[in-house]
Amino acid sequence: MILKSSKVNEFRLWGLLLTMFGLVLMIVGTAGIVFDWGIAGKIIAGIFLVLGLISILCSMGVYFWAGMMSTSAVVIECPECQRITKMIGKTDRCMFCKTILTFDPQHASQEAGNDTSPPAQQVTIQNTAKKQS
């Protein structure tokens, strides 16, 4: 359960990993220029800098996708920790306490059968929108 997280946080993690991978590629690529490896070093630098740029652009796309999913996510209160969290899809995890959350009773019974995680908490959608007079 330590490595499990909510779907939005997992997408953000992949975006961060792609960013770090791209920066490492760019740093490795500049070694060809800094250490003066000649023509081969410039070619290696060019290849690694372009690959790093592609990785960073992909991470930007992942962050954009996660942001768009986050805006359309259902905002609920976790029954375990009573904190406001976002839920994507029929099952997700609380962003804070990692409790499995679901809207569907059928999914709650399937998740509860898994021995490695705690039983799923079924949540109900509460209308939190304020009515304007």
| Surface-to-core class of residue 130, CB atoms within 10 Å of its CB (0-12 exposed, 13-18 middle, 19+ buried) | exposed
* Domain range annotation of the chain: 7-71, 74-122
Statement: the pTM of the whole predicted model exceeds 0.75: no
| pLDDT tens by residue, 52-104 | 999 999 999 999 999 898 888 888 888 888 899 888 888 888 888 888 888 87
| pLDDT tens by residue, 112-130 | 555 455 556 666 555 454 4
Position with higher pLDDT, 131 vs 79: 79
